[in-house]
């Protein structure tokens, strides 16, 4: 069972995907964390993130390793724990530019497909292009949306500056988030886009618990469809 959950920032992808995976005993992959980790590695290793060629030349260098336990998501770059540093504003401000470079996307997409192929019991993979590009044959595709105001309000509560202070400016948070959405949706290589066969869920007026319940139901229905379809496929062989 492969579940793809895509959508812009602050729609609830990570919280929903982790909870659904934990509840249904599936693995979990946060692909945004991988793009953030490669961005953090570049910033820490003197790569000029305004120079596309420099980014492309460095794309193969770091070793990015993701844990797939939804209860203990882990991410490292060259063996260093990246879970904390990838959430700083510095990384958030640079991640769209780094992730728009085709060499970075090819590298990270290969990693994602390998992780999904190894997840024997099934996996929930969340990101921007999972349903469209990374795993177009997913058993279920969900596209989460929410109003920019709701997303900014959710995000502003958890952001930290590089010095570790909380970010409280809601208007600035919304502006940064909208700019990132625009960059992620307009890039040439695998932009943020709803797959034609994805189920869209608007989370603006829903609690996180309601979104989780809705996605669990969708996964259970997709699993039932898959179980019904498989004996037919077997017989056809």
Ligand X SMILES: Nc1ncnc2c1ncn2[C@@H]1O[C@H](COP(=O)(O)OP(=O)(O)O)[C@@H](O)[C@H]1O
Binding site for ligand X (CB under 6 A): 7, 9-15, 154-155, 158, 203, 206-208, 211
> For residues 86 and 169, what is the distance between their CA atoms, to the nearest angstrom?
20
Check whether 11 is labelled as a binding-site residue.
Answer: yes
What does 89 bind: ligand YYY, ligand X, none (CB cut-off 5 to 8 Å by kind)?
none
- Identify any residues that bridge with 144 across adjacent strands, giving them in sequence order: 201
* 121 annotated as belonging to a binding site for a ligand: no
Question: In angstroms, what is the minimal distance from the CB of 157 to ligand X?
Answer: 6
Q: Which is nearer to ligand YYY, 172 or 224 (CB)?
A: 172
**Cβ 177 to ligand YYY, closest distance in Å?**
7
Asked if 132 interacts with ligand YYY (CB under 6 A), we say: no
The answer to whether residues 76 and 65 touch, using CB atoms and an 8 Å cutoff, is yes
Q: For residue 22, how far is the Cα from the chain centroid?
A: 17
Residues 124 and 29: beta-carbon distance below 8 Å = yes
Among 62, 70, 73, 127, binds ligand YYY (CB under 6 A): 127
Residues 129-153 as b/e (b if ≥16 CB within 10 A, e otherwise) read: bbbbbbbeebbbbbbbbbebebbbe
Size of the site for ligand YYY (CB under 6 A): 15
Answer yes or no: is 10 a known binding residue.
yes
Could you tell me which of 22, 35, 142 has the C-alpha nearest to residue 94? 35
Q: At its nearest, how many Å lie between ligand X and the CB of residue 65?
A: 20
The correct pick among 18, 36, 107, 141 for binding ligand YYY (CB under 6 A) is 36
- Contacted entry of ligand YYY, ligand X, none for residue 96, CB cut-off 5 to 8 Å set by kind: ligand YYY
Closest CA to 33 of 113, 107, 102, 91: 91
How many helices (H) and strands (E) the chain has is answered by 8, 8
Count of other CB atoms within 10 angstroms of residue 128: 25
Shortest distance, position 9 Cβ to ligand X, whole Å = 4
Please state the closest distance from residue 19 (CB atom) to ligand YYY, in A: 15
Write out the residues near ligand YYY by the rule CB under 6 A.
9, 31-33, 35-36, 95-96, 99, 127-130, 180, 184
Q: Which residues are annotated as a binding site for ATP?
A: 7-15
């Amino acid at each position: 069972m492969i579940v793809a959950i895509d959508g812009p920032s602050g729609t609830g992808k990570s919280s929903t995907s982790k909870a659904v995976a934990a509840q249904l005993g599936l693995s979990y992959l946060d692909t945004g964390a991988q793009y953030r980790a490669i961005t953090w590695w570049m910033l820490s290793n003197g790569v000029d993130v305004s120079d596309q060629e420099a980014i492309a030349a460095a794309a193969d260098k770091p070793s990015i390793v993701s844990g797939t336990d939804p209860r203990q998501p882990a991410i490292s770059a060259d063996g260093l724990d990246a879970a904390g540093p990838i959430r700083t504003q510095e990384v958030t401000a640079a991640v769209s530019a780094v992730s728009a470079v085709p060499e970075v996307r090819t590298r990270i997409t290969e990693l994602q497909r390998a992780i999904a192929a190894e997840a024997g019991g099934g996996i929930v993979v969340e990101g921007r292009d999972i349903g469209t590009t990374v795993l177009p044959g997913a058993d279920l595709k969900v596209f989460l949306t929410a109003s920019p105001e709701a997303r900014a309000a959710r995000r502003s509560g958890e952001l930290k500056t590089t010095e570790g202070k909380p970010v409280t400016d809601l208007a600035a948070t919304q502006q940064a988030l909208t700019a990132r959405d625009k960059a992620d949706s307009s890039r040439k290589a695998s932009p943020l886009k709803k797959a034609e066969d994805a189920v869209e869920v608007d989370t603006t007026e829903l609690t996180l618990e309601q979104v989780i319940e809705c996605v669990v139901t969708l996964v259970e229905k997709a699993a039932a469809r898959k179980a019904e379809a498989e004996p037919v496929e077997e017989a056809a062989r």
